Chain A
């Protein structure tokens, strides 16, 4: 039989402000010293890593933070993830800096394996795809995607056993 996942014990428990309607897996890792704020209806998959050692993290409403992501602000300014963002598997988010796998921030879409450099500002509705090509999304599917996202979150609510109390303080 496959091994039981190890329980990830946060070394330092950061101060958290968690909305009551969030879904957060027990094996998600919230570490650091700065506050972590998570908005309503957001889903944190197992083994997502949120590290607030260098700055505060604010995650908006209706977000999905997938497994194996690392969210760690590089400085005290912290980072904000807007409403309706999907941070896909293996993504690395450092503020609005650096994207690993699939990150969908606000109305932008950063494709798999694309990178955003430090200090870069990506305009709304930008799609980064391929090996760094960029274009402005004009497909008008934003609202539809947002609706799909909300349904996605509803179903994850059933699938992912939530244990916010572990991260409360």
Chain B
């Protein structure tokens, strides 16, 4: 649980996003925040790494889309994944669902993260990983590139593998509404 923040640390947007003044957000025109999302200090979001399929085109490119009630902890990094396809390298958009928690110092390069996903601190989510809804990723996990994690999984290890199933109550347990209210 994060401690109460001093007033003025966060800028609140019309849709209720709370973005720390000390966060590093690059290419903000390519980033969509769904609302009620918290971005803590020192958090880096690389919206500038957008698709390069049409060079020179600047608008209409979403690099990172984040849903509602997400929580990006201190020093976490969101970075769209990139790969070379048919002789051209391009970054691909990253989509994050609702109620996604990204722990302190974690680096996320996933292609898709569903809703109700908890990524503990110091994790590395490899390029083009797909994490479905209701997944808990334990501290220090390294998820290899291109990995798919199905729903209701508990993931741990380096590389991260599914070590257990989450109970039916996982969705309730992973809700982040309360944590948003605390900020």
A interface residues, Cβ below 8 angstroms from B: 1-3, 5, 46-47, 67-68, 89-90, 101-102, 111-113, 129-131, 147-148, 151-152, 154-155, 158-160
By the criterion CB–CB under 8 Å, are A3 and B11 in contact?
Answer: yes
B180 at the interface (CB under 8 A from A): no
B interface residues, Cβ below 8 angstroms from A: 11, 13, 19, 21-26, 28, 31, 39, 44, 46, 48-50, 52, 55-56, 77, 79, 82-84, 87-91, 105, 107, 122, 124, 126, 140, 142, 157-159
User: What are the residues of chain A within 8 A of B52 when measuring CB–CB?
Assistant: 155, 158-159
Q: Tell me the bound Cα distance from A102 to B107 in angstroms.
A: 11
User: What are the residues of chain A within 8 A of B26 when measuring CB–CB?
Assistant: 5, 46
Q: Tell me the bound Cα distance from A154 to B13 in angstroms.
A: 36
Smallest CB separation, B169 vs chain A (Å): 30
Task: Supply 9 A–B pairs (Cβ within 8 Å), ascending by A.
Answer: A1-B11, A67-B79, A68-B44, A89-B79, A101-B124, A151-B89, A152-B89, A158-B55, A160-B48
- Please indicate which of the listed interface residues B19, B22, B84 has the most CB atoms of chain A within 10 Å of its own CB: B84
By the criterion CB–CB under 8 Å, are A90 and B158 in contact?
Answer: no
User: What are the residues of chain A within 8 A of B84 when measuring CB–CB?
Assistant: 147-148, 151-152
Shortest Cβ-Cβ A-B pairs, 3 listed: A2-B25, A112-B124, A151-B89
Q: Tell me the bound Cα distance from A111 to B28 in angstroms.
A: 30
- Majority DSSP secondary structure for residues of A touching B: loop
The answer, among A2, A89, A154, A160, for a CB contact under 8 Å with B89, is: A154
Smallest CB separation, A27 vs chain B (Å): 8
Asked, given contacts A68-B77, A130-B159, whether A155 binds B82 with beta carbons under 8 Å apart, the answer is yes
By the criterion CB–CB under 8 Å, are B28 and A2 in contact?
Answer: yes
